[in-house]
Amino acid sequence: MTQVAIVGIQGVPTKYGGFETLVENIIGNNCCSEICYTVFCSGKDYATRMKSYKGARLKYVPLFHANGIQSTPYDILSMLKCLRGYDAVVILGVSGCIFLPIFRLLYRKYLIVNIDGLEHRRAKWSKFAKWFLRTSEAMAVHHADVIIADNKGIQDYVWNTYQKKAELVAYGGDHAQRDVTEERQNEILKRYGIDSGCYAVSVCRIEPENNCHLILKAFATAGENLVFVGNWERSEYSRRLKKEYQDRQNIQMLDSVYDLDVLYALRNQCRCYIHGHSAGGTNPSLVEAMFFGKPILAFDVIYNRETTENKAHYFKTSEELVKLLHSRPKDGCKMQEIATKRYTWSFIARQYRMLILSHK
């Protein structure tokens, strides 16, 4: 049996996060008898420490949280703990990959790195942080046996920047589908005072690169109903937007929703989904939304076009979004067809399995 260590996430059971959801869904029922996974988890983030979960062994890394500035030492310490006993190591994200030149002197077996969504391009980082992440990315590409890109745009970036081939493996989204009765969904909509099919919904972190200001401006202009779910108290940017738009009768600004039934009802009963992300690769929230078969209005960047196979509706300005809203597109079935073909977790897990076992 192939022993595989997974490094770079907070842990499982998942609390939040794209990579955590990825790991949650490639272990368990989607795993195979040929692979035994060990998932490294943050001892600081889990009060209860389970020995195993969904057939995977769990090991806890003390001292550090998995996110923020502590993510780099956390990832490095995780790597040091998997030097022996593993046939392959899968690293998710590049924050600790600055350490790879040393790690590769100590670990000579199979190394797979998913470089995530070009973190160094995100506007929120300082110049030093961008340099650090870009350098870590370069170390990942140089030292990995297999590089994983979650989007064709990132795959092309790796080739154009490093002349290295990256394997294209996206994320799944079918976990967003739940068995929620119509009665329960109606109760949820009634709680928020909204009617089925009469509103748009958007779910994201409230950051400038997700174009939240552009979306809010468009809906304020169009007068269309919007339910916008996000962390509205996180930053000066989010608080400013909340203060500016919270009194608009057609806009509901909901704090982050962790009740999966509520998220399901809001997305299942909307008339369209708004996706403003301009950075990163295949965004998990977009893939999840595609499974609901609703028209998707997405910010016009290569990553979103690749994810939706150029069959969604795209905007770059609030004026363009207003025009799309007034046109009332009704072709969401195309999104569901693409999602079912490309973004089920059974398919994604099979791709990871083939990459892991290909070194034998």
Mind listing the pLDDT tens digit for each residue in 97-124? 999 999 999 999 999 999 987 777 777 7
Residues 126 and 190 occupy one common structural domain: no
CATH assignment at residue 248? 3.40.50.2000
Residues 200 and 241 occupy one common structural domain: yes
Contact 311, 334 (CB under 8 A): yes
Residues 134 and 213 occupy one common structural domain: no
Mind listing the pLDDT tens digit for each residue in 129-167? 899 999 999 999 999 999 999 999 999 999 999 999 999
Residue 54 above 70 pLDDT? yes
Mean pLDDT, residues 70-76 taken together: 97
User: Residue 126 class from Cβ within 10 Å (0-12 exposed, 13-18 middle, 19+ buried)?
Assistant: exposed
Whole-model pTM over 0.85: yes
Total domains, the chain: 2
Tokens 């797979």 locate to: 112
Q: With bands split at pLDDT 50, 70 and 90, how would you rate the model's confidence at 281? A: confident
Q: Whose CA is closest to 104, among 89, 115, 119?
A: 89
Both structure tokens of 306? 């690749």
Mean pLDDT, residues 2-20 taken together: 92
DSSP, res 120: G
Q: With bands split at pLDDT 50, 70 and 90, how would you rate the model's confidence at 85? A: very high
Mean pLDDT, residues 189-199 taken together: 96
How far does CA 267 lie from the centroid of its chain? Answer: 17
Mind listing the pLDDT tens digit for each residue in 335-354? 999 999 999 999 999 999 99
Residue 360 above 70 pLDDT? no
Residues 143 and 213 occupy one common structural domain: no
User: Of 5-19, 117-131, 169-183, 256-270, which gets the smallest average pLDDT?
Assistant: 117-131
pLDDT score at 280? 83
Residues 71 and 189 occupy one common structural domain: no
Separation CA 42–CA 109 (nearest Å): 24
Residues 219 and 118 occupy one common structural domain: no
User: Of 67-71, 167-171, 238-242, 287-291, which gets the smallest average pLDDT?
Assistant: 67-71
Mean of the per-residue pLDDT values for the chain? 95
Contact 87, 104 (CB under 8 A): no
Separation CA 228–CA 245 (nearest Å): 11
- Contacts of residue 261, defined as CB under 8 A and 6 or more positions apart, other chains included, come to 178, 180, 184, 188
Separation CA 346–CA 174 (nearest Å): 9
Q: Whose CA is closest to 224, among 249, 204, 188, 246?
A: 249
Both structure tokens of 308? 């939706």
Separation CA 206–CA 237 (nearest Å): 8
Query: Left if phi > 0, otherwise alpha if psi is -120 to 50, otherwise beta: which for 198?
Result: alpha
Q: Which long-range contacts (CB under 8 A, 24 or more apart) does 278-281 make?
A: 278/209, 278/210, 278/211, 279/117, 279/118, 279/121, 279/122, 279/123, 279/209, 279/303, 280/116, 280/117, 280/118, 280/122, 281/116, 281/117, 281/118, 281/149, 281/150, 281/151, 281/153, 281/154
Mind listing the pLDDT tens digit for each residue in 302-338? 999 999 999 999 999 999 999 999 999 999 999 999 9
Residues 13 and 96 occupy one common structural domain: yes
DSSP, res 33: T
Contact 153, 184 (CB under 8 A): no
Cα radius of gyration (the chain): 21
Residues 135 and 37 occupy one common structural domain: yes
Contact 92, 8 (CB under 8 A): yes
pLDDT score at 351? 96
Residues 159 and 259 occupy one common structural domain: no
Q: Please report how the helices 18-26 and 345-357 are oriented relative to each other, as an axis angle in degrees rounded to 10.
A: 80
Residues 140 and 265 occupy one common structural domain: no
Residues 291 and 309 occupy one common structural domain: yes
Residue 261 above 70 pLDDT? yes
Task: Give φ, ψ of 6 to 5 degrees.
Answer: -115, 125
Mind listing the pLDDT tens digit for each residue in 200-237? 999 999 999 999 999 999 999 999 999 999 999 989 99
State which residues form the domain around 290. Answer: 174-342
- Contacts of residue 22, defined as CB under 8 A and 6 or more positions apart, other chains included, come to 92, 171, 172, 348
Residues 271 and 349 occupy one common structural domain: no
